[in-house]
Structure 1
C-alpha cells in the first residue's frame, strides 16, 4: 500500500476565544493527561488503581510502569513525541500500562479493536500516518502478530511493531523488553525531556463506522482531561469508588469514561476481559464495585437473563449507567425490579459530548431520555435537518453540539468537516433527537439517526463500507445493507442482494467467508441475507432502505408467529 510519508497535518484546534474562556473558567488547567494522571497517582500511591485477570496495581505501581514503558519506548524504538501508534490489544493489564506509557512519552495512541481486519487497520495506518503498531500475540483466535508483520511490509512508514503476551519475531519489539529498558537512567532522562503540548494531540479515537477513509476524532490533552474529570464529577466518584468496565478498553468509553475518570480521582478501575454475566457478577461482589458506566442494553439484558440474576450480590453498586442506544423504559424497570439496580441513561460519542440523566432527574426523564449535558459549558442545539435553524422544543431535529470537550473537526477530513460542522462550530452528530423541558431543565430523547449506521450492541457498522465489499462478490449485482431489530443487541446486519443473472443466492456463511477474505472485521458480517429481483426505489430513484427495513422486519415478525 502506498502512503503519504509527509507528517500528517495538525487537526482543527479550538478557536482561541473559546479556548481562553475555558481556561478562565478553570475547565482547562494547562496540564497534559500524563501530568494529571501522575499527580493523582502521587496523591493516592497506596490505593488500588487497576484490577485485571493478570493481577492488580496500586496507583504508584501503575504510574511507575507507565513511566518505564514510555521511557523504554523512546530508548528502544525510533518513535518520538507526536508519532502515532495503533493499538490492537484486548482488556489486559499491559494495555493500560502501554496506553498510559505512550501518553507519558507524547506518543499518540490510535485506538482500534483487536477484531479489526487487515483492510481496516491498513487504511487507518495510512490515514493517520502511524509509525507504530501494538499487537497482542494471544488474542483469541487472531494472528495479530502476522497481521502486524504484513502491514509493516506493505506500509513504508509503519516501521515499529511491538508485541505483548508472546514472542516478538524478527525486528519486532517485545513489550517486556521495552518495559525493562525504561529503568535505564538515559531512558528516564529522555522521557523527562519529551516536549508535550497541553493543546496538542493526546489520542486519536476511531469514530463509528467508516466510508472509504476512516473518520478519526482528534482528542487533545486539556479537553480530554476535562472530559474525564467532569464525567467523574457527575458520577460523584471519589478515591473510594470502584469502577467496572467490561467492554473494549481502547474505545472512548473505555478511556474517557472509565480508566481516566477512575484514576484521576484516585479510585479503582476493574477491567473485565469480557462482558460474560457470571464473571461480571463475580467481580461486582468480590471488588465491591460502586460504578458501572456505559453499559450497552445487550449486556444488561444478559445479566437479567443469567441463572444467577435472582441472587447475585450487586448491593455495592451506586451508579449503573445504560448507554449505546435509545432508552428502554422496560429494561430500566426490569433492572430495578429484578436486580435492585436503579439504572440511569447516558449518550456519548468519540467526538466528545456526553448526555446523562442525573439521579435527581424527573422519573419521566430517566425512563424516556438520555439526559442532559454533563458540563455547564456544553452547548446543544436541535437543528432542522436541512439547515442551521433550530426547531422548537418537542419537535424532532438533528443533535448539534459544541463545548470544552467536543472536537472542532475530524482528522484529515476537510471535505467532511465542511458539512459536519455549522458555520459557528457546532458538530452535527447525525442523531435525531427531541428536546423535552422538564422542571426547567432540558432533556434529550434519541429518536433515530440520519446517518446510515447500524448499531450492533453499541458497535457502529457503516452500511456503505459493507456494501462496497459485497458488490465485489461475483454473484452479487447490487447490495444494500440495513439494520434488522434484535432484542439483545438492538440491531443486527441484514444484507439485501440483487444477484447476477443465473447466480445462486449466497448464504450467510458463504458471504461471511468472502467478506473475511476481503479483510472485514467479523462483528460487521451480515447475519441475514434477503435476495430481491430489484430494490424498491424512492421518488428520486435511490434505493429505499426504509422500505427494505420494513420488509425485513415484517418477515421476521411472520417467522416469529410461525415458530
Structure 2
C-alpha cells in the first residue's frame, strides 16, 4: 500500500517511528479534494517572503524586519543549526517569549525540517523534562534575558535529565559554557551560502511529514504531543485566511503564546503567508498595549479577555480611539470587545488536535454572539452525539462533539499505550466538549456548551484538575482535595483548591501551596489561586463527588471573603 501511495505521490516517504499517519484512502480523498497538496509549509512561507520582500513582516518597539530580512535571518540560523550537527526530523524545545527571535527560530527549524515542539516559557521541570524526553529533543531554545527567571541556568540544570539534548541556543543575554548565542550563530553564516543551504533543505522536505508537534490540552497530566503535518498545517492556515476574508495589507497582533496552536495557525502563520506584518511588544500592560496598538495600528488581533480589558483601560485613560481594527478574534468575549473597543469581534472554537470553528466575515452579530460559527472547511465533518456513545442527537440538543477532517489527529506521539487515543474510532475524534447545533440567520452553526473533561481554562491555558489534585494529595496537611474552576471576569476561570485537612493540621495559604508546586516543578499557571477549606465534599445521589455543587460552594466562600475584606 505504501508503494502504491508513493507511485501517486501521496503519503509520507520515510515514516517516523511512533507517528500515526493518516490512512492511504483518507489522504487520497483530501488530496483529490485539493486540501492537501505537494507544497510544504516552509516552501509556501519562503514563496510568500519572496513575493513580499520589501513589506514589513515584524513591527514594534523591539524589532522591525521586512519579509526579506526575516527570510535571510532564518536562512542563516538554519545553516548554523546544520553546522552544529542538527538534522532534519530532530526535535527542538522552545522556551522563548513572543518575539521576532522566536519567529526566526521557528522558521529556521521549519526550513531545515527540524520539528518544533511547541513548549512554553512558563513550563518548568515537570513539563519540559517530560516533553523533552518524550519527543527525544536534540535542540533547546531558551530566553537569556528574562529578569524573572534564569532559563540558561534552568537548561544547564535540567539538561542531564533530557539526555537527547545536544545543543542549547540562547536568545538575548549571555549563554553559559556549552551553550550558543543565537545572534552569534546567525552572524557567523554568510548570507548567500546560508540561502543556498536553506533552499536545498526545503527542496528535500516531505509535505506529508510532521512539521510541528503541538501540545494537547493536558487533560491526562502533562500534555501529549500532537503531530501536525506540513501540507495539512498549511491547509489549516489558508483555510483561516479564506474563512476570515483576511486581505493584505494586514497588521496582526497575537495576544496568546505564539507557539500555541491558536497563535501559530490562526494568527502569525497566516499573516506571513498573506504578506502581512506582525505587531510585537514586550509590555502588555494597559499603557504598553495602548501605545503598540496606536502606533502599529493592527487590523487583525487575537485578544484574550484579560488583554482586551487592559487595552480598553489604556485607550480610556488616554481618551484615544482605535479605528484600525477590522476583526478581533477572542473566546466567549466578542460582545465585550465590540462594546469596549468598537471593533468587529468573533468568538472561536479550536483544539490543537485539528478542528477550528469560527464565524464568517459576513455573519450577523446575532450568530457571532450566540455561537462559534462553523468549521473552517466543508471537508470537516461534525457529529453531535450522546456523551460517551455513537448515538446521534437531533439539531438543538446538546451533546458531545465528534470531528473528522483533513486536519484531525489520527494518534498522539509516540504511538505507544500513552499515544493511543481511546476516543478515536473510524477517524472520528471525541473532543470531550459539549456542543449544540443551532440555526441562526438561515445558517447552521454551533454553540459551545461546556466540557466533559475535568479541566480549568485560565486565560487560554488548560489546567488538568487530576494532575493538580494528585500533587496536592502529597501535601502533609491535606487529607482530601478537589480542584474546581471559579469564574473570573479577566481570566475566564481561576483554580480553587478545595481541601479537607488532616486532623490537627493548619490550612496552608496560597503562597505555601505555591512553594509546594514550585518544588514539584509545575508551571505557575497551574498553581491554585484560591483555597476553600471544608470538612466534607458534597456528594451526588449515587455517593460520588459533586464538583458542580462544590464549585458553587467555593465561589460563594470566595465572594464572601472578598466582601469581608472591603471597608
Specify which of 242, 248, 251 is matched with residue 257 of structure 2: 248
Conserved 8 A contact 1:303-1:309: no
Specify which of 49, 58, 65 is matched with residue 50 of structure 1: 58
TM-score normalised per structure 2: 0.92
Which blocks of at least 5 consecutive residues in structure 1 are unaligned?
1-6
- CA shift for structure 1 position 442: 1.6
Specify which of 430, 435, 438 is matched with residue 437 of structure 2: 435
Specify which of 234, 239, 259 is matched with residue 268 of structure 2: 259
Equivalent residue, structure 1, for 2:114: 107
- Residues 393-419 of structure 1, C-alpha deviation per residue, up to 9 Å, x if partnerless? 111111121212222222225546655
- Residues 34-71 of structure 1, C-alpha deviation per residue, up to 9 Å, x if partnerless? 11100011111111111243221111111111111111
Specify which of 181, 199, 211 is matched with residue 202 of structure 1: 211
Equivalent residue, structure 1, for 2:24: 16
Specify which of 482, 499, 513 is matched with residue 484 of structure 2: 482
Distance between the aligned counterparts of 1:190 and 1:315, measured in 2? 44
CA 1:392–1:420 in structure 2 vs 1: closer, same or farther (change >3 Å)? Answer: farther
Equivalent residue, structure 2, for 1:96: 103
What are the residue-to-residue correspondences of 1:466-505 with 2, within 5 Å?
466-505=468-507
Specify which of 324, 343, 346 is matched with residue 316 of structure 1: 324
Distance between the aligned counterparts of 1:223 and 1:466, measured in 2? 34
Residue 336 of structure 1 pairs with residue 338 of structure 2: yes
- Residues 107-130 of structure 1, C-alpha deviation per residue, up to 9 Å, x if partnerless? 111111111111111011111111
Equivalent residue, structure 1, for 2:236: 227
Conserved 8 A contact 2:144-2:150: yes
CA 1:409–1:510 in structure 2 vs 1: closer, same or farther (change >3 Å)? Answer: same
Which range moved further: 434-443 or 62-71? 434-443
- Residues 66-110 of structure 1, C-alpha deviation per residue, up to 9 Å, x if partnerless? 1111111011x2221001110000012211100100110111111
Indicate the SS of the match to 1:209.
coil
- CA shift for structure 1 position 528: 0.8
- CA shift for structure 1 position 162: 1.0
Conserved 8 A contact 2:372-2:448: yes
- Residues 446-473 of structure 1, C-alpha deviation per residue, up to 9 Å, x if partnerless? 1110011101111111111211211111
Distance between the aligned counterparts of 2:184 and 2:58, measured in 1? 22
Distance between the aligned counterparts of 2:525 and 2:219, measured in 1? 14
- CA shift for structure 1 position 545: 1.6
Specify which of 451, 456, 459 is matched with residue 449 of structure 1: 451
Which blocks of at least 5 consecutive residues in structure 2 are unaligned?
1-14
Distance between the aligned counterparts of 1:188 and 1:267, measured in 2? 22
Equivalent residue, structure 2, for 1:366: 368
Indicate the SS of the match to 2:425.
coil
- CA shift for structure 1 position 495: 0.4
Specify which of 540, 545, 548 is matched with residue 547 of structure 2: 545
Specify which of 190, 193, 208 is matched with residue 183 of structure 1: 190
CA 1:419–1:120 in structure 2 vs 1: closer, same or farther (change >3 Å)? Answer: closer
- CA shift for structure 1 position 384: 1.2
Equivalent residue, structure 1, for 2:6: none
Equivalent residue, structure 2, for 1:528: 530
Equivalent residue, structure 2, for 1:40: 48
Conserved 8 A contact 1:203-1:218: yes
- Residues 514-550 of structure 1, C-alpha deviation per residue, up to 9 Å, x if partnerless? 1111111111111111122233334554432222112
Which range moved further: 380-389 or 265-274? 265-274
Residue 82 of structure 1 pairs with residue 100 of structure 2: no
CA 1:337–1:466 in structure 2 vs 1: closer, same or farther (change >3 Å)? Answer: closer
Aligned length: 549
Conserved 8 A contact 2:499-2:534: yes
Equivalent residue, structure 2, for 1:66: 74
Distance between the aligned counterparts of 1:265 and 1:304, measured in 2? 28
Distance between the aligned counterparts of 1:68 and 1:522, measured in 2? 35
Conserved 8 A contact 2:386-2:400: yes
Distance between the aligned counterparts of 1:275 and 1:11, measured in 2? 38
TM-score normalised per structure 1: 0.92
Residue 146 of structure 1 pairs with residue 148 of structure 2: no
Distance between the aligned counterparts of 1:481 and 1:127, measured in 2? 27
CA 1:162–1:11 in structure 2 vs 1: closer, same or farther (change >3 Å)? Answer: same
Specify which of 271, 281, 288 is matched with residue 272 of structure 1: 281
Residue 302 of structure 1 pairs with residue 304 of structure 2: no
Conserved 8 A contact 2:18-2:416: no
Residue 168 of structure 1 pairs with residue 162 of structure 2: no
Distance between the aligned counterparts of 1:559 and 1:514, measured in 2? 24
